[in-house]
Amino acid sequence: MPIKGFGINAHSGRLDGNLDLLEQDLIQFQRVGFDYVEIPAHGVDAILNGRLNLRQMKRVKDVLARFDLKYTVHCSDWLNLMDAERFPLHKSIFEASIEFASEIEAEILVYHSGRVELESEYLGTLALTRELLSLPDQAFVEECKRMEREALAELAEFAREKGVTICVENADPRVDEEALWELVRRLRVKGVDLFYRIAPAGDIAIYNYSGVVDRLVEQVKGVGKDNVGLTLDCGHAYIASRYYGFDYLKSIKSATPFIKHVHVHDDFGQPAGLDRRQIVLIAEGKGDLHMPVGWGEIPYREVFSQLKGYEGVLMLELRPRYSPYYAEALQETRRLAEECGLV
């Protein structure tokens, strides 16, 4: 069967809760010829204090109903079922996101895979102090992954009742965290490695496991629910493959049986580093740029060839700065998809 259609994301940062902007964007998306729009639950203020925001929900539905478009939903970028300290809150936000998807008749709900956060506690001045001794170890990370699997399995049953499929998205690398992990692995005091139990030599993507696509596949397999699959983010995977050193196309092929949603955008395969401002990264060709297909270096003809049999949406996930090129981006993506037998 052919794919369901082509989509475009409504950008959460641009909307920032402004439904007038959402309506303006939907007018453009429909005029360009997209079939689907991915609505960010956090971008339209659909969730308030861990619960569905019923007042805003009504206004969102009124706006969406004015258009001949179909919808998918993206959870908050910060939703994290591996956050041990705030797990009940994150789970309630996830439940509300499922409700939101059901309310707007979206079959797909995208969730950024969980990770053990290090930024605030370890990546500042504490990174150069004895606080390194309390760096979360691999056993803790594995426990958090187990917590995520069990939560996803439970949430999948609620999602099934609502007609929603959960799609866990692969991540791009966090080079600051990887650098800290490597420092801990190498650090020795008086010739004795104090951290041998924390970081085995050569290990990668510890705190951000889904940077390696095969590890996300294993996590989804562990959930064991047919309505929990993968969102393949082609741009994230390309950067990660170059950084971590795995075979990009081979990883897509191995993930194909579990892929239920695809994010399409381009980049140059270089991680961002510490400065993630687009105005800096674009000139240097670094980071998760979310450019139209053909602007970067991702081999999309080969990518789409690996996706034969995929029956979901090809969702263009582009930054608003590229809005003048939406029609061109859709045309190029459609052309490649047709040539590769996806349409």
Residue 232, beta-bridge partner list: 262
Number of independent structural domains in the chain: 1
Return the CATH number at 150. 3.20.20.150
Average pLDDT, the chain: 91
Q: Position 161: which residue type? A: E
**Tens of pLDDT along 243-301?**
999 999 999 999 999 999 999 999 999 999 778 899 999 999 999 999 999 999 999 99
Torsional sign, CA 57, 59, 60, 61:
positive
pLDDT for position 276: 83
pLDDT for position 183: 67
Pairing mode, strands 108-112 and 36-40: unpaired
Listed as own residue / partner, the contacts of 30-34 with beta carbons closer than 8 Å and 24 or more positions apart are 30/67, 30/68, 30/69, 32/8, 32/326, 32/327, 32/330, 33/6, 33/327, 33/330, 34/5, 34/6, 34/7, 34/8, 34/69, 34/316, 34/326, 34/330
Q: Position 75: which residue type? A: C
Does residue 189 lie in a domain region? Answer: no
For range 304-318, the mean pLDDT: 97
**Tens of pLDDT along 13-71?**
999 999 999 999 999 999 999 999 999 999 999 999 999 999 999 999 999 999 999 99
Contacts of 245 (CB under 8 A, 6+ apart): none
Does residue 92 lie in a domain region? Answer: yes
Does residue 123 lie in a domain region? Answer: no
Full domain range(s) for residue 10: 5-116+143-171+210-339
Give how far the C-alpha of residue 176 lies from the chain's centroid of Cα atoms, to the nearest Å: 19
Does residue 182 lie in a domain region? Answer: no
Q: Look at residue 332 and give its three-state secondary structure.
A: helix
Does residue 136 lie in a domain region? Answer: no
Does residue 253 lie in a domain region? Answer: yes
Residue 120 pLDDT level (bands cut at 50, 70, 90): low
Residue 325 pLDDT level (bands cut at 50, 70, 90): very high
Does residue 34 lie in a domain region? Answer: yes
pLDDT for position 207: 86
Does residue 190 lie in a domain region? Answer: no
In whole angstroms, what is the distance from residue 275 CA to residue 16 CA?
22
pLDDT for position 196: 40
